[in-house]
Amino acid sequence: MELELTDEQRLERDTFRRWFTTELEPRVPEMERGELLPYGRMRDMHVGLGLEALSSSFARTTFMVEMSRVSPSFALSYGASTGLFGANVLGKGTPEQVRDWAVPVLRCEKVGSWGLTEPGAGSDALRGMKTTARRDGDHWVLCGSKTFITNAPYADVFLVYAKAQGGDVDGSVQAFLVDRADPGVSTGPPMKKMGMRGSPTGEIFLDDVRLPADRLLGGGVRQRDHVKSSLAVERGGLSVLSLGIAERCFEIARDYAKTRHQFGEPIASFQLVQQRLARMYVAVSNCRRIVYADHIAGRKVRESVADVCAGKLYCAEMGTFVAFEAIHILAGNGYMEEYVVERLARDAKLIELGGGTTEIQILTIARAILG
């Protein structure tokens, strides 16, 4: 399915694609090798594309799709910083928190990080959480650690979740604003990963980190859906990343099949190759319908928790499926770094794990539909 676009929307898409192709893609190999951090490019992107103009859902979605086509790991770091940190503070913070914490991150002047997962609490992130925030007079004292956290090794600011002990929010999981300069805060080195190598991932350590009371996100308002609403946003964003991966891999495989000759003819003429390409197109088309539901409907589509999880589940699996099908069509060349699809396949796999594994999506959907 191809989207019907206005001239303005087509111009937006082409502008994004041109910037990411010319300004970002040449630097991707350096970022993948860990020789270049993504954050300077984010600041350049903010200036070069005028991101404050992303006022429509179509523009915001297309911006992330085009970014993901070139570098899913860059999109992951950007989304964690401006989305999971910046947008969370923007939507749930006090006016002062928005001014002092959200705005610098949304402008890419600072790098944000979102700390939920712990060494012993991944899928069971809330019930198994060990990180605590103890109320002590006019302060909170945080103790614990987080792992597998995007941007952690280099972030300036962190949104850290902890079980509150004392105060009006006693017994609930709450988010706290933490600065790298706060005494007791430290981070581990970047982890070595299968994919998403251009996006630094690491640990956060909180050793009696003493924070003033105004570091509690929202200023003490009890917000029980903090984590669930944030996870819904993350899952929707990961669906967008999967679409970008699937689109790019499909196009690479399609174009390669047209030009690669075996037995005296292009491999695109072979029915088994056509079958793979057709199934890849079905997957891309369905992912596009999910990601662009608002645009297709011409209105804001209200999605239930089950809908969000269903979208993330399907897009994540199809992103991996299309990427590995592309490798198969390119055969030996697909296994080589030069043809991009092997990197995109490694990146795609993370999306089946992050933001809740496939199993967690299925369980959440089942609970929702069974009442």
Q: Is 90 a residue whose pLDDT tops 90? A: yes
Rounded Cα gap, residues 242 and 247, in angstroms: 9
Rounded Cα gap, residues 105 and 53, in angstroms: 16
> In the predicted model, what is the mean pLDDT of residues 72-94?
96
Percent of the chain with pLDDT over 70: 98
Tokens of 133: 């925030």
285: buried, middle or exposed (CB in 10 Å: 19+, 13-18, 0-12)? Answer: middle
* Residue at token pair 């964690």: 80
Scored b (16 or more CB within 10 A) or e, 93-121 reads bbeebbeebbebbbebebbbbbbbbbeeb
Domain boundaries, the chain: 7-106, 112-215, 226-370
**From the candidates 203, 234, 325, 342, which is the catalytic residue?**
234
Among residues 70, 61, 79, the alpha carbon closest in space to that of 355 is found at 79
Rounded Cα gap, residues 324 and 207, in angstroms: 43
Helices (H), ranges, the chain: 7-19, 28-32, 39-49, 57-70, 72-78, 88-92, 95-97, 103-106, 226-259, 271-291, 293-297, 305-330, 341-351, 358-370
Residue range 55-69, pLDDT digits in tens? 899 999 999 999 999
349: buried, middle or exposed (CB in 10 Å: 19+, 13-18, 0-12)? Answer: middle
Residue 221 binned pLDDT confidence (cut-offs 50, 70, 90): low
Among the residue ranges 20-34, 52-66, 177-191, the one predicted with the least confidence is: 52-66
> In the predicted model, what is the mean pLDDT of residues 317-334?
98
Tokens of 28: 């991707």
What does the mean pLDDT of the chain come to? 95
Q: Is 318 a residue whose pLDDT tops 90? A: yes
Percent of the chain with pLDDT over 90: 87
Which neighbouring-strand residues pair with 177? Answer: 159
* Residue at token pair 């792992």: 147
Rounded Cα gap, residues 63 and 240, in angstroms: 10
* Residue at token pair 């019907």: 4
Residue 225 binned pLDDT confidence (cut-offs 50, 70, 90): low
Among residues 119, 89, 125, 220, the alpha carbon closest in space to that of 164 is found at 220
> In the predicted model, what is the mean pLDDT of residues 220-234?
71
Among residues 27, 21, 59, the alpha carbon closest in space to that of 41 is found at 27
To the query of whether residue 23 is one of the catalytic residues in this protein, the response is no
Rounded Cα gap, residues 97 and 82, in angstroms: 15
At residue 224, the pLDDT reads: 55
Residue range 240-295, pLDDT digits in tens? 999 999 999 999 999 999 999 999 999 999 999 999 999 999 999 999 999 999 99
CATH class, 112-215 region: mainly beta
> In the predicted model, what is the mean pLDDT of residues 322-342?
97
Tokens of 59: 């523009």
At residue 1, the pLDDT reads: 79
At residue 61, the pLDDT reads: 96
Q: Are strands 139-150 and 132-136 parallel, antiparallel or unpaired?
A: antiparallel
Residue 50 binned pLDDT confidence (cut-offs 50, 70, 90): confident
At residue 222, the pLDDT reads: 57
Long-range contacts: 26-34, Cβ < 8 Å, 24+?
Answer: 28/70, 28/71, 28/74, 28/198, 31/71, 31/73, 31/74, 31/197, 31/198, 32/73, 32/197, 32/198, 32/343, 33/197, 34/190, 34/197
DSSP code, position 270 = S
CATH 3.40.50.12500 fits 7-106, yes or no: no
Rounded Cα gap, residues 290 and 146, in angstroms: 32
Q: What is the pTM of this model?
A: 0.95
**Would the CATH topology of 112-215 be identical to that of 226-370?**
no
> In the predicted model, what is the mean pLDDT of residues 228-232?
78
| CATH code assigned to 226-370 | 1.20.140.10
At residue 2, the pLDDT reads: 85
Instruction: State phi, psi for 364 to the nearest 5 degrees.
Output: -65, -40
